[in-house]
Structure 1
Amino acid sequence: MASSDGSPGAMPSGDSPTPGKPMTVGSKMLDKGAQMMQSLKPVKQMQQHVCTFALYSHDLTRQIETHHFVTRLNQDFLQCAVYDSDASSGRLIGVEYIVTDRIFEALPPEEQKLWHSHAYEIKAGLWVNPRVPEMVQQTELQNLAKTYGKFWCTWQVDRGDPLPLGAPSLMVSPQAVNLGMVKPEMVQRRDDKYGISSEYLKQSRVELPEPEWINPQADYWKQSGKGFAIDIEQIGMKLKAPFP
């Protein structure tokens, strides 16, 4: 059984290189040829890059900068491939699903506990579309402020994991409470990278409409003081026929 943080054991913190040999010329040629001949339709539907922050639901002291590459399936449902950076060497560390309040309200109460709200994250200037003018984002931000997300982290690079290890971890959104606030040095580092000011964005979004009501089942940890962790255990397989 894995530990409660989804790992088989303690790992050193920091950024570790991914194990493996350098790309060969043959592999590069194959990838380039496949890229020219295949449609890659799902990937090409990623239309937005969002940079924000996330916290581990079972350990709010662990916080990461995240880069979401967003696909809009329809007006009520977004899906995001989440990376640890926007560089070409960025590592895929998880997936987030985002739904409007209309869809969220139809979910069972126990399911709602796995989701987080986005209103504070957006109003606080933490959620940004790098290099996209703020005025261009206004309508999108108004819509996103009323959404909820479920984010599973599959690769805990913040603790130095060289590979995706253990079970996925449920992540939560920054909130306006002591334990749910992002470390200022992380925000400053992100702001310096993109030449923005989260504080300025916060002030410019003061008039952004807020949801009339945020379901208390979301951001469950705020009411309960408890997060979620997945343990891995062996169970019997369901088979059409027993092994001989």
Structure 2
Amino acid sequence: MPSAQHTDDLALRGKRALVTGATKGIGADIARRLAAAGVRLVLTGRDEAELASARDDLTNEFGVDVETAAVDLADASAPEHLAGVAIAAFDGLDVLINNAGVSYPEPAIVTDPGHFDTTIAINLRAPALLAAAVGRHLVEQGTGGSIVTVASAAALAPLPEHYAYCTAKAGLVMATKVLARELGPHGIRANSVCPTVVLTEMGQRVWGDEAKAAPMLARIPLGRFALPHEVSNTVAWLCSDSASMINGVDIPVDGGYTMG
């Protein structure tokens, strides 16, 4: 399989980015990709110790400025607060990466109401409100910007036992399109990335069983799951001027899974 390549090839150096869910999995790889490109980062998550470790690792390896903010995105007031903290960190923002999310796999007919509400709160309400708050700042700032949402192939094609997750991610894709429509005239682009299963540590733990993975792999023409850098490279590209005419799209990173 191809290996990750972190190169400063997208003219992102000096940009200011907020990355949610930045200490694990896809979010950690996105943060690393952007740090390698010289982006100044605000990292968020719920665990202060994990955030401090991520900050130190990225600062030591790439020499970039990194700030952190521990937040619980299930709290309805968190998005507005987080936007303010991130904007203050580097006196403005250029990029928002909406990545944080949760999942409680269970059949639709036995959906737990608490799981459903938590999934909607973290996977839809929080990123939508955060994007709105950051978008308002970007309009006032007047220098354009990029909002990238890490949605899911489950937003584009139904995934069994992911009722709340599919619902939230599909709503988030449409919310991103509304942002693209409203903020585009201000030079602000909003796009979604929709990965299939990604072989993060969690992905390998959940999908490492061959019997469970086989039906999903059979629907992917490339015959494999995604690697974290294949998502983070797409996200980095969308943040850059190389994607300056890309607005309001949802890009599957899925080996062909969602084409039917």
For the aligned pair, the TM-score class normalised by the smaller chain equals under 0.3
Alignment TM-score, normalising by the size of structure 1: 0.27
Report the structure, 1 or 2, having the larger helix content: 2
Q: Give the structure with higher Rg (CA).
A: 1
Q: Which protein has greater RCO, CA pairs closer than 8 Å, 6+ apart?
A: 1
Report the structure, 1 or 2, having the larger strand content: 1
Alignment TM-score, normalising by the size of structure 2: 0.26
